[in-house]
Amino acid sequence: MRKLVKNKAMLAGCVIILFFVLVAATADLFAPYDPAALGTAYQPPSAEHILGTNDLGQDIFSEMLYGARVSLFLGVFSALIVTLVGSVLALIAGYYGGVADRIICAVTDIAMAVPSLPLTLLLIAYLKSGVFSLVLAISITAWTGTARILRSRVRQICQLPYIKIEKTLGVSTPVILFKHVLPNLKDILLTRMALSVSGAMMTESGLSFLGLGTYGQKSWGNILHFAFFRNSILRGQVWWYLPPIICICVAVMGFMLVGYYGQQKKD
């Protein structure tokens, strides 16, 4: 019974992710307009513009398709960095223990204690605006959870007889880490990775909504930002503010479902 549930959750998550990835990959094929092209502003949905137009007369449907690219890229790329940094630190801390472990734990604790939103905001304010500064700003505080969870798991694994036997056989440290420790982390890595993507996407949309996102490149958060600051809610322009909200929610849920599967398998 439980197996079925987790498989269903996993399947649903994968379908959602795959859908958005396809959308992002094929945006230029299916987008009816160039999302930057100007036209008649504030048009409600029609046959010409499926989701109407925004304040500059840009086609919202095309914006949404291209926005998927930026949003997904930001989420996945940040998650990759977060997972990479987290697992490298976790492997070092968990395998070597001692001083290395104490230093890494201390750094993690400090990074965890720093309020993440102000730090992110500050970084963005100082960095050149662009996708990569956004990725940096998102990842800089997000790696702590991954590092901490992975570290305790690595520590557990390193206490197991099979790792000790590898050591006495004289297997080199990199081989132990990459062949014997890392593969046994794959469930937890998948979980953390998926949850990091959804976390990063949330942060990104939050930042973009505040106007601190990617100028020039349209992400879903960015669309929402303009919808909100052009009073689309007061004007009742549902077609403008609802699509980005729905897309963000569904995509985040997709990654969370995949993470949920990994978490269940761990038990």
Which residues bind to other proteins, rule: CB under 8 A? 1, 160-162, 164-171, 179-180, 183-184
What sign for the dihedral angle of Cα 48, 57, 242, 69?
positive
CB of 20 to other proteins, least distance (A): 31
In the complex with other proteins, the residue whose CB is nearer, 171 or 245, is 171
Q: Which is nearer to other proteins, 55 or 166 (CB)?
A: 166
Residue 225 CA to residue 244 CA, distance in Å, equals 10
Closest to 267 (Cα-Cα) out of 179, 191, 195, 159? 191
Pick between residue 41 and residue 160 the one whose CB is nearest to other proteins: 160
Mention every residue, 6+ apart, whose C-beta is less than 8 A from residue 154. 90, 91, 93, 94, 95, 181, 185
Which residue type, as a one-letter code, is found at position 193? Answer: M
Output the smallest distance, CB 187 to other proteins, in A: 11
How far, in Å, are 94, 104, 168, 190 from residue 175 at the CA level?
15, 22, 13, 21
Q: Which is nearer to other proteins, 46 or 159 (CB)?
A: 159
* C-beta of residue 252 within 8 angstroms of C-beta of residue 198: yes
Least Å distance, CB 79 to other proteins, is: 23
Shortest Cβ distance from residue 163 to other proteins (Å)? 8
In the complex with other proteins, the residue whose CB is nearer, 70 or 91, is: 91
* Nearest to 222, CA basis, from 198, 196, 248, 200: 248
Least distance to other proteins, CB of residue 266, Å? 14
Please state the separation of Cα 251 from the chain's center in Å.
10
- Kindly tell me which of 165 and 233 has the beta carbon lying closer to other proteins: 165
Smallest distance from the beta carbon of 189 to other proteins, in angstroms?
A: 13
